[in-house]
A and B are shown apart, each in its own frame.
Chain A
Amino acid sequence: EAGVVQSPRYKIIEKKQPVAFWCNPISGHNTLYWYLQNLGQGPELLIRYENEEAVDDSQLPKDRFSAERLKGVDSTLKIQPAELGDSAVYLCASSSGGMIGELFFGEGSRLTVL
């Protein structure tokens, strides 16, 4: 079974540039999460989808971050414009309805903003 796939693995951009990250969850997993992980910190939730609906986006900085999951499968997280403080690892995870707290994570997308 394929795991959660994220791309790109690494991205280096200059500040004020846009960037997008893509995630394909495990087949059949209705719940999709985007987490932010700063160096030396644990993952922090940005947004949670149930199918195509964003059910919790309270921690997403909506002035510059946006996300979509149009068909309830893969998802894109965008930052526009990026700031120096956005340098971090962006993690995508998915889970199925009955597996509370059991998230399957991708390898992450490491963003460096110069």
Chain B
Amino acid sequence: AQSVSQHNHHVILSEAASLELGCNYSYGGTVNLFWYVQYPGQHLQLLLKYFSGDPLVKGIKGFEAEFIKSKFSFNLRKPSVQWSDTAEYFCAVILNYGGSQGNLIFGKGTKLSVKP
């Protein structure tokens, strides 16, 4: 079955440290890729998305992600994290089947704790 793997369950960083959260998916066809974020006490919201074109996509709050097709990866990065980035981050994928699209499939999420 197709799946999304997030390598780290919980990441703890100090402010100003660089961040990279791993995400891999298992599907050989065309995909659309997403990162969602859930801040403490808030709802899930879209952080960034990749459909096609430039494999390096930029999202809100200084986040970016790079799609590497050969590695089936879509890792999330931020050069310098802030305490306010403390949240849970979910990678998600939509599989495309010959022109029709499936539903969003989420990874298990990575909790990021940023120490002030």
| Residues in chain A within 8 A of chain B (CB atoms) | 3-4, 33, 40-45, 48, 56, 91, 93, 100-108
Contacts and interface: CB of A to CB of B under 8 A. Distances in A.
A41 B46 contact: no
B49 A102 contact: yes
B107 A42 contact: yes
Contacts, number: 50
A105 B49 CA distance: 16
| B contact face: mostly helix, strand, loop, or mixed | strand
A90 to B, nearest CB: 13
Interface residues of B, number: 21
B44 A91 contact: yes
B104 A103 contact: yes
Contacts of A93: 44
Given A40-B109, A42-B92, A42-B108, 20 more contacts: A33-B103, A40-B108, A41-B108, A41-B109, A42-B90, A43-B44, A43-B106, A44-B106, A45-B104, A91-B44, A93-B44, A100-B32, A100-B51, A101-B92, A101-B94, A101-B104, A103-B46, A103-B104, A105-B43, A107-B43
Nearest to A56: B103
B44 A102 contact: no
Contacts of A41: 108-109
Interface in B60-107: 90, 92, 94, 101, 103-104, 106-107
A107 B43 CA distance: 5
Nearest to B51: A100
Contacts of A43: 44, 90, 104, 106
Contacts of A102: 34, 46, 49
Contacts of B42: 107
